[in-house]
Structure 1
Amino acid sequence: MSKKKKDMKVKYILLTIFWVGILSACTNAETFKDVLYFTGTEDSPAVKYTIDGPTEIGVTVSASCQTMSDQSIRIKVDPDKLEGYNALYGKKYKIVPTEDYMLSNNEIMLKAGGNISEQLIFSLLRTTNLEEGVTYCVPLTITDVTGDMPVLESSRTMFLVLNQVMIVNAATLSRTNMQLPFESEPSLASVPQVTMEARVKVNKFATASPYISTVIGVEEEFLLRFGDVTIKPNQIQLAGGGYPVTGKTEFEVDKWYHLAVVFDGSSIKLYVNGELDGQVDAPRGPITLCGNTDKRRFCIGSSLNSRFLDGSISEVRVWKKALTQNEIQNNMCYISPDYYQDMIAYWRFNEGEGSVIKDWTGNGWDINKTLSWTEGVRCPE
């Protein structure tokens, strides 16, 4: 090829690249338009609030740039959106009764030259009509904009998620040994899927070998505990059955945590406050919840008649199914009777008096024990 033809070919390639770049830039300019969106919904359409009585929540709309002209934005409560949201995200949120809330107005202004609107105030007027343990949600939708900016469709509806604070009692444990005679129920000797949950607050972790503080389960089979000689006393571990798994969280004293361990038939997962904290493949077969001696029965707060948990405990649940992460996150403070059919036992440890800890499932696994109590426990904290 001659030098002249070679130079012409190079120029042609460069010119082609130039025009491809120009066309690409134009396409991107059309794709990434400046938009309006509910403030706080950049990563998720849901914005969560913890409520402890009547409250007011300020809602604003943001622009992705400074606006060139006034933007008048109309907003409404949109209950019809909740069913689709629940289905998409695996939630069971309920809408707040109409008479229990109000909006300060249904139109807000984003002034020219700004990038955030004035506030719309959502007022929760009362909580007396709200069901215990239920998470509520109020969808707000941008219905119309008078101005020159479009709405980001993924943020057209904002979901105000309202988590109620529950004030409960909890059992105080020190050298407390609670055993369950699960061996009297043959089906519990071979359970294909298991989930165990508990809310715990530790006063002091074990300081002497083997450095174990037991939460719940069966020794050498399926035991949720803090500590061991091979890990720190303030790490959580599922031990037994040949497939131990240790969480990465280092727990603090005097702080409430929700713990969950899930066996789905092929793996074991540990969750702390609803977040995955450790997992392992575990093709081990069904779990037995039946101990073969008094010392190795299913226990709460101890194992082997020792290894006591020094702290407080509540919301202890044993399931015959593998809970999903969403199911764990949705029900850390309370569980509806709608779920009892999938449970083996459920002890709220909320009695505050007496010597009987009720099994709320109706399966008959009440615990006869005189305990001390911690009052005024908030969930979530």
Structure 2
Amino acid sequence: MKKLSYKIRLALPVVLGLVSVLFATCKKYVDFKDVIMITGTETNKLIKFTVEGTTATYGVTATATGKVSEDVTVNFEIDSTLIAGYNAETSAKYAIPPKGSYELVGNTGIIKAGTNVSNAVSVKILSTAKFVDGRSYVIPVTIKSVTGTTSVLEASRTVYLKVARVLDFNSIDISNPNFYYPYAFAQPLNNITKYTFEIKCYINDWHPGSNQISRLSNWGPVDESLPNLLRFGEAGSKINQLQWVSAGGSAFSTTEFATKTWYTISCVFDGSTYRMYVNGKLDASFEGAPKTYQLGALEIGMSYAGYQTAQRFLGRVAEIRFWDRPLSLTEIQEGLCGVDAGANGLMGYWKMNEASGNTFFDRSGHGRDMAWPKAVTWITDINNKCAQ
């Protein structure tokens, strides 16, 4: 009997402790206060504002976490000073659109009594004429103030509307095996220890025949002693599986590429790890020892004698870029449709957007224009679109 009493005395503090925790939990629940936030920012403050054409409108509303008992007035404003803090938070390089290209129509929304969502204010894009190609724009719309006693949830006070333009572009058709050529630069880029190589491609079809290899591109020294090669269907892989071969190793994509679809491939080497991204998502990686590379020549398609037809690439190419540094994931994702020609570390930028002639101009300003010695077929159609 004494032992039983002793056990009860031992257990009593534990029971009381549990009761205290439960009481505290219940108390916190009872003390919960409704808050106001900008609608849609619960999980992500960055929201796409798709713009196709000259004028586009996005409605911004405020939401209360519970129905309000009286009318609540929410005052909105566009505050461009918030961009710097958001860039620091996300390691991004967003800019406010040029002055006069956007406006906030109305700045007040009301959450009516018995409801929890306000009427909308409108953000309008008036023109994209002064937008800089490759630059990413956001419009920060924030809650300036609210009436009544309901407070604003600070984490969701501001929405960053990313202006996602739908862009038309030109491309080159590299289906003709007579197009292929290893272009040697008069100004090679030497002593490359870190890099990012990017190329945008569109597969019309996979070529017929027993040889299923489709060679997309290769860069390196003129003698190809340290290659960086992109090809489909090699070494027993599927015909729509991409292989990246470098002097440091190789990897096959997990992505199985579809026809009639644009893909941006980004190959990044940070000095020890090779990472391949497909449309802004990490697809494959491998480790490798430090190496020194050279951008002395760029090959588009297959140039080896006797293989031009057997390993031809039936498709289009645009947006070839070379950086002397590894890009971050954010930079890769923001550059899927194009990049700022003055971006840090951009050493070669061939948009393939000239639409005529046979010169691919280097938009980076480093003078690596390519006067292609073969006939160039340009394509501009409804398939050449990119949504930022």
Where does structure 2 lack aligned partners over 5 or more consecutive residues?
none
Matched ranges for 1:80-229 at <5 A? 80-174=81-175, 175=177, 176-182=179-185, 187-188=189-190, 190-218=191-219, 221-229=227-235
Deviations 1:101-123 (A, max 9, x none): 23231110112222322111112
The reply on whether 1:259 has 2:259 as its aligned counterpart is no
Give SS of 1:133's match.
Answer: coil
Identify, as 1 or 2, the structure richer in helix: 1
Residue of structure 2 in register with 1:375 after alignment: 380
Tell me how far 1:234 sits from its aligned partner: 1.2
The reply on whether 1:45 has 2:12 as its aligned counterpart is no
Q: Return the match for 1:322 from 326, 337, 350.
A: 326
User: Bigger shift: 82-91 or 21-30?
Assistant: 21-30
Deviations 1:2-47 (A, max 9, x none): 32333343334212211122123324654x6432111121122111
Tell me how far 1:210 sits from its aligned partner: 4.6
Tell me how far 1:373 sits from its aligned partner: 1.1
The reply on whether 1:283 has 2:286 as its aligned counterpart is no
Residue of structure 1 in register with 2:240 after alignment: 234
Deviations 1:212-268 (A, max 9, x none): 222222467311222213221212221142521222111111111111111111011
**Contact 2:195-2:326 at 8 Å conserved across structures:** yes
Give SS of 1:99's match.
Answer: coil
The reply on whether 1:334 has 2:341 as its aligned counterpart is no
CA–CA distance in structure 1, aligned partners of residues 277 and 251 of structure 2: 11
Residue of structure 2 in register with 1:356 after alignment: 359
**Contact 1:172-1:373 at 8 Å conserved across structures:** yes
TM-score, normalising length from structure 1? 0.89
**Contact 1:86-1:92 at 8 Å conserved across structures:** yes
* AA in 1 matched with 2:368: G
Q: 1:345 to 1:130 in 2, by over 3 A?
A: closer
**Contact 1:209-1:229 at 8 Å conserved across structures:** no
Q: 1:29 to 1:324 in 2, by over 3 A?
A: farther
**Contact 2:359-2:369 at 8 Å conserved across structures:** no
CA–CA distance in structure 2, aligned partners of residues 211 and 96 of structure 1: 46
Deviations 1:71-108 (A, max 9, x none): 21111111111122123222222212443323231110
CA–CA distance in structure 2, aligned partners of residues 128 and 363 of structure 1: 27
Q: 1:331 to 1:103 in 2, by over 3 A?
A: same
CA–CA distance in structure 1, aligned partners of residues 25 and 15 of structure 2: 15
* AA in 2 matched with 1:191: I
Where does structure 1 lack aligned partners over 5 or more consecutive residues?
291-296
Tell me how far 1:187 sits from its aligned partner: 4.9
Q: Return the match for 1:347 from 347, 350, 361.
A: 350
Q: 1:337 to 1:344 in 2, by over 3 A?
A: closer
CA–CA distance in structure 2, aligned partners of residues 284 and 226 of structure 1: 26
TM-score, normalising length from structure 2? 0.87
Q: Return the match for 1:366 from 361, 370, 378.
A: 370
CA–CA distance in structure 1, aligned partners of residues 379 and 189 of structure 2: 35
Give SS of 1:204's match.
Answer: coil
Tell me how far 1:163 sits from its aligned partner: 2.2
Q: 1:101 to 1:11 in 2, by over 3 A?
A: same
Percent sequence identity is: 30
CA–CA distance in structure 1, aligned partners of residues 283 and 10 of structure 2: 59
Residue of structure 2 in register with 1:302 after alignment: 302
* AA in 1 matched with 2:386: C
